[in-house]
A and B are shown apart, each in its own frame.
Chain A
Amino acid sequence: QSMLTQPPSASGTPGQTVTISCSGSSSNIGSNFVCWYQHLPGTAPKLVIYGNNQRPSGVPDRLSGSKSGTSASLAISGLRPEDEADYYCAAWDDSLIGVIFGGGTKLTVL
């Protein structure tokens, strides 16, 4: 598996909670930390979750990460228009001996 599996799109209205999934295998998510990135066009990706569920300084607690077995999720509660972006999961893969990213999920705030 050369890529983690994410839904291509997700959407929600302001104030709602949206969850983005990331599916992998025993060689990546199942045995290593997962992180999540928020990417706005024309800007550098921003790390929003690392170590499965840790938030870097400055990331609001509306964003939370979780992992169970070979899957991980990013939840965004109290959805805001500024949350509209592409979101990527990533993890180390022991078989590939490298980092793999998910294909990305485009989040639309309706």
Chain B
Amino acid sequence: QLQVQESGPGLVKPSETLSLTCTVSGGSISSSSYYWGWIRQPPGKGLEWIGSIYYSGSTYYSPSLKSRVTISVDTSKNQFSLKLTSVTAADTAVYYCARDNMGATGSFDYWGQGTLVTVSS
């Protein structure tokens, strides 16, 4: 059974960089046809797609976050990572990593449990 799990600091200071890693187990991140994505949910708000990556390194980013986001993949560790720079309180959210089962379509079938990241000094 595939599992994905987020890890990283739960507290980030304003203007600093948020960094999270997603570890994939029970399957290979290098499997063809799958993209791997980051999604977040600010408190009291809906789901927001951040970006997705293929094992080859090909990426798609949300236009509203593109200037601050980098998603990378480490196939040797079966992990992919998120970096979000210059964070503000508006970036406080539960961050999820997930597998897109139909290429880059938004059809995320396996999700991590989510990790709350709070931006505060």
Whether chains A and B associate is yes
Given contacts A39-B47, A44-B114, A45-B47, contact A99 B104 (CB under 8 A): yes
Given contacts A45-B108, A50-B101, contact A99 B46 (CB under 8 A): no
Partner of A35, one of B46, B107, B112, B114: B107
Q: How many A-B residue pairs have CB under 8 A?
A: 78
Interface size (A, Cβ < 8 Å)? 28
By a CB distance below 8 angstroms, the chain B residues around A44 are 96, 98, 111-114
Judged by a CB distance under 8 angstroms, whether B52 is at the interface is yes
Choose the segment among A14-22, A72-80, A100-108 that binds chain B (4+ C-beta atoms closer than 8 Å). A100-108
Question: Interface on A for B, CB 8 Å cutoff?
Answer: 2, 32-33, 35, 37, 39, 43-47, 50-51, 56, 86, 88, 90-92, 96-104
Known pairs A44-B114, A50-B101, A97-B63 / 20 extra A-B pairs, C-beta < 8 Å: A32-B105, A33-B102, A39-B47, A43-B113, A44-B112, A45-B108, A47-B107, A50-B107, A56-B109, A86-B46, A91-B106, A92-B106, A96-B62, A99-B49, A99-B60, A99-B62, A99-B105, A101-B106, A104-B46, A104-B47
